[in-house]
Structure 1
Amino acid sequence: MSRPRAATLRDIDEAALALPEVTRDPASGGRPAYAVHGATFAFAREPRKDAHDPQTGEPYEDVLVFRCTAEDKEAMVGDPDSPWFTTPHWNGYNAVLLLERDLGRLTADEVREVVTDAWLVRAPKRLTRQHLESLQP
């Protein structure tokens, strides 16, 4: 039995762009943001002093942000072995953070699920209903 493949940035890109009515900014290359109907659901964040390396104090330069439900956030950041985290800046926001360098701790399937869930949180209800109905056999 083969081991699941570790996730990559390409998996995020492919998962996001496979969803209905998603735009990517910039269209290629760079540190992207993905949106549906103008609502961003996943993005690569610029360095900020609120997310920093505890060893060096330097701001992380590779933070990825994914929208989620409050329940999912609690479960994802509540596990001490999880690569997901949050910062005080994100208190009150339904989003989780992940360092690009920790992406390989997740499988491609796990990343696809998180990206899809992020899209479901931000997409218009009509569009989410249509998408979920299209997946039914």
Structure 2
Amino acid sequence: MRRLDAPLAVSALKEDFKGKTQRWVQDNAGETLTFTVSDYSEGLAGLLWRNFFGPPFVHMFGARLNALPAQFKQNLGEDIVLVQPYELPTQAGTPEATAVERQLISHLGPECFYDPERHLKPGRRPELKPLP
């Protein structure tokens, strides 16, 4: 993240990542695969196994991020915070992991995340600095 000056990095199993970032939409030709959010400038698709939030996201979440229970959050210095909803990537998609993800999203601000029930993009996005 630091080398690339990236505001976000995630780590997850491919199935979990695809499940949160892609969905099938009915159209005249049948079904089309589309993105929930195309990239982090549109907000977040959800929480994955490991979510490394850089300064734009730390600023966007503000005090809500600081107030997360220590078991889910680790400060990595220089405005980078790791949020990890569950211990192992293989726990993704389990009822327990899904419940924790929903709890953390509710705490951080559901307006910052894609709404999979209503298929709505995030209403709140990070303030990203322009590319040089």
TM-score class normalised by the smaller sequence: 0.3 to 0.5
TM-score computed with the length of structure 2 as normaliser: 0.36
Q: Report which structure shows greater RCO (CA 8 Å, sep ≥6).
A: 1
Report the structure, 1 or 2, having the larger helix content.
1
TM-score computed with the length of structure 1 as normaliser: 0.35
